[in-house]
Amino acid sequence: MSSISLLFSPQSALLIFLLLLVYISYTIYQAFFGPLSKLPGPLIAKFTNFWRIKNAASGNAPANFQDLHRKYGTVVRTGPNHVSISDPAMIPSSFYDVFTPKNAGKSYPSIFTLQSQDAHRQLKAGIAQKYSLSSLLSLEPMVDNVTRNFMSTLHERASSGTRLDLGEWVQFYAFDVIGAITFTGTFGFIDKGCDERGILRGLDGGLIYGAVVGQVPGWHEWLMGSSFLQETVMKIPVLAAGNPVPIVVQMIKDALASNAKDGAESTREDFITFMRKQNEKDPERMSEDVMINHMFVNLLAGSDTTAISLRSIFYLLMKNPCVYAKLQAEIDAADSKGLLSPIITYSEGQEHVPYLANVIKESLRLHPAVALPLERIVPTSSPLQTQSHTIPAGAVVGINAWVVHYDKNVFGQDARVFRPERWSEENGERLKMMERSFFAFGHGSRSCVGKNISLMEMGKFVPQFLREFEISWDGDEDGWKVDNTWFAKQSGVFVRYRSRERKAVFA
């Protein structure tokens, strides 16, 4: 009997029927009698991940999750094995595999994508001290060089009421800063005033793919996780040109080669020099692949999130003139007393412009960078117990910052209002609850490793920019446009800007 005849034989048909029957029976059992069966949620979520896929592709995930929890409560089933939780106190996934960069057939799992706690802990241990705030402050001179270049470039372009895509320019700034502190070089975005190599466009495509395919991670190995498919796609010029990974890999390898020539005598303080010295001490723990992993996290994740946060700060200031005026007055008062350097230091901003920290935090509360839930797999050692349900080991649980940040029980009845004062008015248990519910950088051992980089950039750039320039909204009357994929990325942040009389001294 030929193989084709065997495939269509009655025995094969019976086997396929039995397999389908087992699958359908198992799906029905899990939907109505399994450990998650009592959880509320969309009916379709009991059977399939369709709701998650549709939600991720909709471009409106934050609002969808808010509506979901408003309708079903604090614990909601969003898929056959997925649960969304809106109470941070309840939380101690293979979703992240799709964000593992791959180039020339090699995968680069990073701090962000590793699921194993032991592997994550080991990878993070070799670099964690470099992300501490005290260590990062030694990199301020590198950030200052980029800031100085940004301000002088905009002053040269400025006339009375010049129109500027501020959203685009703060991304140029964030990218060039991350390049400067990673390997003492920039991408040249500020100098060119454009995304010449299409790196930013390529990243946007990756975010869409990651958001949608991440809902069913098993698809990834058959799609862009497949070396064969990726190599095939990269042979198509249009698609290859939109892939930023080879460009960034080459930049990293060039930087590693350049750094190796400098040798142990180098006095540079950037990340690559730190990692090179760690490599000399322990080449197994800090191998070249590990160095590439860490630099990928810096370059491809750190810039987007900081740019989103900077857009939020300036947009909300322009839309709330009283807050803008209050912050501006505080900056000008400190400046008039000679308390601020030509390029404002992080510590000066923290000490002499205290309202700034509240503005930053409130902006990140109202517009957290990540649009989808931060997911984790419930460990076998400790099933998750909520107030009304037990979530078993192996289930995937997640918290969406867009849900907890708008919780009126935590942030008050005006939770949807931009009011930075809330962070200084509250104290005691109320403030602790607000802090515990602040998820802009995640939480716990898996919180964003680059948090201090972003805070340092914002803490320096915002007061510097507002001291140098006056801005007013010049975008659509309806406001900015937000494209929710993995990140809640804004566009259309157009402003009119002009140089203010007081300028920093560019020396």
Place of tokens 């996290």: 297
CB atoms within 10 A of CB 119: 12
Tokens of 81: 């094995």
Rounded Cα gap, residues 416 and 286, in angstroms: 45
* Continuous H helices in 353-450: 355-366, 401-404, 408-411, 422-425, 428-436
Asked if 167 and 492 touch (Cβ cutoff 8 Å), the reply is: yes
Q: How crowded is the C-beta side of 145, counted as CA atoms within 13 Å?
A: 14
> How many residues appear in the chain?
507
**DSSP states along 134-150:** HHHGGGHHHHHHHHHHH
Rounded Cα gap, residues 99 and 79, in angstroms: 21
CB atoms within 10 A of CB 23: 10
Query: Does residue 194 have a known ligand-binding role?
Result: no
For the chain, helix, strand, coil in percent to 5 are 60, 10, 30
Q: Which of 451, 118, 474 is nearest to 314 (CA)?
A: 474
* Continuous H helices in 337-400: 346-352, 355-366
Asked if 395 and 35 touch (Cβ cutoff 8 Å), the reply is: yes
Rounded Cα gap, residues 126 and 261, in angstroms: 22
Place of tokens 């419930």: 378
* Residue 217 DSSP code: G
Give the sign of the dihedral formed by CA 128, CA 132, CA 138, CA 141.
positive
Rounded Cα gap, residues 288 and 285, in angstroms: 10
Helix (H, G, I), strand (E, B) or coil at 35: coil
Rounded Cα gap, residues 451 and 366, in angstroms: 17
Asked if 465 and 138 touch (Cβ cutoff 8 Å), the reply is: no
Task: Could you list the residues known to form a binding site, using ranges.
Answer: 448
Task: Could you list the residues known to form a binding site for heme, using ranges.
Answer: 448
